Amino acid sequence: MLCNVDIQKAYERLTENLQSLDSVVVAYSGGVDSAFLLAAAHRVLGPERCLAVTGISPSLAAEEYDDARRIAEQVGARWITVDTDEINDPNYQRNDENRCYYCKSELFDRLREVADEYGLAVVVDGYNADDVGDWRPGERAARERDVRSPLKESGLGKEAIRSLSREFGLPTADKPSFACLASRLPYGTEVTPERLELIARAETTLREVGFRVFRVRYHGPTARLELGLDELDRIRDHELSSRIDNALRSYGFEHVTVDLAGFRSGSQNESARSDDTLMGIATVAQVLKRFNIDGDAISEGRMVRLVVSGNEIGRIWEREIRSGLVDAYRNLGYPHTAVDLASSKQEIVAQKR
């Protein structure tokens, strides 16, 4: 049985929508939305009129590729991959707010070629009803190329999709949302294969030690880890934090930090939305004194990196202090506040020399 009448009606609309399309190529990443869309299209249209296609590029994490393969096999759907070349597009490399437009333009152009080759009528994507109103340049690329969005057209949002995914027995029902690796770079930071590989290795490490909801945000020499709020306390374990810090430093990061606000989808956009005015470093340092914390605050672009003494690190994680620091630095124009996992007074002294 489906969860409730509204969801059942929306699913019926989806079934009718897919039937009207006759045959489809599904833009398939293996995420929550595209996995459900593939499963539904396969049920409605059958294997001959439904083909899943995953775009392969440096922005796709290896684990996401593996998930896509496993789910397609579970569904029993036809699945192929195509190479996409957005990484060599200067517009994409530039990484402005329209990066997703150039990426999706490349992807949908390739999928249209696949649809023509296989004799399939329509390219469909996993854009859903909850995505409407968000800043999604990729959606514009889809509309320009007549890509259809059956989930949105049927009124299915994320909660309903997860509920239906459970009914379908899909492992994505409770899978955290996952954006492409390029989304970890702040706007204006050039997208390169090397940077994407660095981020991928760092996120693999977090996955290997058991984190489920996370992002590794790239700030040049500094990695800013965003962890789900229900998992944030785990980082207080010294052995675990040292393991993560050592691993990410060995990959090439000079500093490994944890964002005090936890995971926020699209948080790199916060830098773009911030006021251009940043307070001087002396003012930034005074915030720690206000909270009676022994340490230093280092301004790195739109991020404040806190380096505190070992006996103070525990206080940083107290909810009231953590929230207070985040709010204080946001008021100074810094959307990101993160504490260095290798915090020590020795590092502060070395940096001031």
> Which of residues 143, 174, 205 is at a domain's end?
174
Q: Are residues 191 and 334 in the same domain?
A: yes
Say if CB 143 and CB 51 are below 8 A apart. no
pLDDT tens-digit map of 49-79: 999 999 999 999 999 999 999 999 999 999 9
The parent domain of residue 157 ranges over: 5-174
pLDDT tens-digit map of 74-121: 999 999 999 999 999 999 999 999 999 999 999 999 999 999 999 999
Q: Are residues 15 and 56 in the same domain?
A: yes
pLDDT of 353 strictly over 60: no
Task: Give CA–CA dist 295/288, Å, rounded.
Answer: 7
Q: Are residues 187 and 167 in the same domain?
A: no
Q: Are residues 170 and 187 in the same domain?
A: no
Q: Are residues 185 and 139 in the same domain?
A: no
pLDDT of 162 strictly over 90: yes
Q: Is the pTM of this model over 0.85?
A: yes
Q: Are residues 161 and 208 in the same domain?
A: no
Q: Residue ranges of the alpha helices (H) in the chain?
A: 5-21, 32-45, 62-75, 90-94, 99-118, 137-144, 150-153, 158-168, 193-208, 238-251, 268-273, 281-290, 313-316, 319-331, 345-352
- C-alpha distances (whole Å) from 268 to each of 18, 97, 161, 185, 188 are 35, 11, 26, 7, 11
> Which of residues 133, 159, 174 is at a domain's end?
174
Q: Are residues 71 and 114 in the same domain?
A: yes
Q: What was the pLDDT predicted at 15? A: 97
- Specify the CATH number for the domain of residue 67: 3.40.50.620
Q: Are residues 208 and 281 in the same domain?
A: yes
pLDDT tens-digit map of 126-137: 999 988 766 688
Number of domains in the chain: 2
Q: Are residues 194 and 134 in the same domain?
A: no
Tokens of 300: 């790195």
Q: Closest Cα to residue 200, out of 229, 179, 221, 175?
A: 179
Q: Are residues 123 and 37 in the same domain?
A: yes
> Which of residues 116, 143, 174 is at a domain's end?
174
